[in-house]
Amino acid sequence: MVVQVHGFDWEVYAERVMPAFGKWLLDGHEQDIRELYEQTRCAYEEQFLPEAMQRLRVWPRAYAFLQTLPHGPYSRREYSKLCSAQQFTALSDRYLYRHAPQLYQHSNALRSIWGAIIESFCLPWASNPSPPEQAQQRLSESAHSSETQAQAHSLSPVESVARGEIISLLVEAGLGELAHAVEASAAIERHEWNADQPHDVEPEESEEASKFGESGKSRERREHPTYEADETGHAIELTSPDESDTEIVVASDGILIGQPSNLLHLRGWLAGISIRAMALFEYLACGRRLMPFGYEPGEPYGAFCGYLTPEEVWQLAACLESVTPPEQEAAEEDFLNFRYQSYGIPPAFRLIDEVLPRHAADLLFAIRKASQQGIGLIASME
């Protein structure tokens, strides 16, 4: 289970998404929310369910659940607060308000609809096309791929057309993974064939990375974790920076800030800098802020566990304006020392909250990026 941070378009969420839920809960008008839901990946994927499983679709289950909700004066006041992004946020501290606005019972289907809409409309850092556009994009990519392969390998026109037709047929048959495997193998062949390309030239730093003061060396340390905890709790070495080429910051998935145990490292580190920064981080990723329809770690479309408004992101960025994250090597060594204390090395007892965080640079990168763009942040645990 990992925790990721995503950009959060608060304006769309407060002015379009939650008002649509309000019309559905208060007045029974489902048109607005259904139009939003039908454009999500969840609705698109459910179109391919077998006939015998159609009753398990998310929308009919959520609709049936809403028919059972009470609609008395007190309940309607609760629904009004629940579907107002500003009012709910002000009352969402689970440690301060014991009776925050919420439904009398959580519904997995309703939570999935909310999460699917958030994924499709409120994550500005995601760049994935909508599901109906993906097939067309794959077809165009397949045609472009076959064209490039013909140029790189000097394929005959017949061989080029045959390869492109094979990839197109695989995509149309629903075998997207196999089609991608064929494209990947072709890319590897093309890379091996182009012997004149220099391999020792480092790529230039992206404009976005340089904007936030991130050097190539720090990105390399941040994107290639070296140690991880195994099932017994001891640290094991996974890869070295020279052997791994995995990039952690993926626009469509969010910015990885580690496993749940690393949240304790980050929380303790922030507490030593600013109490406000620690509290805002708890709202974002530690479950202190209630979600409108609850959350379930690891559940599809239901794993969003906390968020920050643009104003809160600005406050957090101001608290951490001049903060430098710990070096990756120092954080890994500190984590190992903490693990070895069970064997008496070192003799002083330490808490897990006192360990240096290994993903502090990722968190700072996300906070400063969101603050400069004027958007919020939302975290997912899956």
| Residues 195-211: tens digit of each pLDDT | 444 444 444 444 444 44
Beta bridge partners of 308: 377
Model confidence at 264: pLDDT above 80:
yes
Model confidence at 214: pLDDT above 90:
no
Q: What is the residue extent of each domain of the chain?
A: 10-121, 131-193, 207-381
CB 20 within 8 A of CB 34: no
pTM of the model: 0.68
Per the prediction, the chain carries an average pLDDT of: 76
Nearest 5°: the CA angle 266, 228, 274 is 5
Residue type, 319: C
pLDDT at 177: 66
CB 124 within 8 A of CB 114: no
Report the chain's terminal Cα–Cα distance, integer Å. 5
